[in-house]
Amino acid sequence: MTMKSIEERHISVLLNELVDSIKIFEDTKNIIVDCTLWMAGHASKMIEKMNAWDIFIWFDADERNLKLATQRLNEVNKDNKVEIILIHSNFVNLKEALAEKWITEITWIYYDLGLSSLHVDEADRWFSFREEGPLDMRFDASTGKPASFITNVYRKDQIVDILRNYWEESQAEAIAKAIINRRKQKPLETTTDLTEAIETVSKHPKVKTRVYQALRIETNHELDYAKQSIEDAISILCSGWYLFVISFHSLEDRLTKQIMKKETRDCICSDLICSCHHKKSIKILTKKPILPTDEEIKQNPRSRSAKARLAVKL
Ligand SMILES: C[S@@+](CC[C@H](N)C(=O)[O-])C[C@H]1O[C@@H](n2cnc3c(N)ncnc32)[C@H](O)[C@@H]1O
Report the pLDDT averaged over residues 255-283.
92
| Ligand 1 atom with the shortest distance to the CA of 248 | 1
Task: Please report whether residue 84 resides in a domain.
Answer: yes
For residue 276, the CA-to-ligand 1 centroid distance in Å is 34
Ligand 1, atom 7, residue with closest C-alpha: 41
Report the pLDDT averaged over residues 225-245.
96
Task: Give pTM, 2 decimals.
Answer: 0.92
Q: Given 172, 201, 219, which residue is the final one in a domain?
A: 219
> Do 21 and 98 fall within a single domain?
yes
Ligand 1, atom 27, residue with closest C-alpha: 38
> Do 145 and 273 fall within a single domain?
no
Answer whether residue 220 shows pLDDT above 60. yes
What's the CA gap between 199 and 60, in Å, rounded? 34
Answer whether residue 207 shows pLDDT above 60. yes
Task: Please report whether residue 246 resides in a domain.
Answer: yes
Q: What is the pLDDT of residues 76-124, one digit of tens each?
A: 998 889 999 999 999 999 999 999 999 999 999 999 998 876 666 655 5
Answer whether residue 1 shows pLDDT above 50. no
Query: How high is the pLDDT of residue 308?
Result: 98
Q: What average pLDDT is seen over the chain?
A: 91
Task: Please report whether residue 264 resides in a domain.
Answer: yes
Task: Please report whether residue 133 resides in a domain.
Answer: no
Query: How high is the pLDDT of residue 133?
Result: 84
The CATH number covering residue 282 comes to 3.40.50.150
What's the CA gap between 86 and 172, in Å, rounded? 40
Answer whether residue 22 shows pLDDT above 50. yes
For residue 269, the CA-to-ligand 1 centroid distance in Å is 33
Query: How high is the pLDDT of residue 109?
Result: 97
Of 10, 211, 1, 14, give the one whose Cα is nearest residue 123.
Answer: 10
Q: Where are the beta strands (DSSP E) in the chain?
A: 31-34, 55-59, 83-87, 106-112, 237-247, 282-284, 307-313
Domain span at 289:
6-118+224-313
The total number of structural domains in the chain stands at 2
> Quick check: CB of 306 below 6 Å from ligand 1?
no
Task: Please report whether residue 44 resides in a domain.
Answer: yes
Q: Given 198, 219, 240, which residue is the final one in a domain?
A: 219
> Do 144 and 276 fall within a single domain?
no
> Do 44 and 107 fall within a single domain?
yes
Q: Among 23-32, 64-73, 201-210, 217-226, which range has the highest average pLDDT?
A: 217-226
> Do 243 and 111 fall within a single domain?
yes
> Quick check: CB of 252 below 6 Å from ligand 1?
no
Task: Please report whether residue 132 resides in a domain.
Answer: no
What's the CA gap between 194 and 210, in Å, rounded? 13
Answer whether residue 18 shows pLDDT above 70. yes
What's the CA gap between 180 and 151, in Å, rounded? 8
Q: Given 219, 241, 266, which residue is the final one in a domain?
A: 219
What's the CA gap between 194 and 200, in Å, rounded? 10
Relative orientation angle of helices 205-219 and 156-167, to the nearest 10 degrees: 110
The backbone torsions φ and ψ at residue 245, rounded to the nearest 5 degrees and listed phi first, read -125, 125
> Do 215 and 230 fall within a single domain?
no
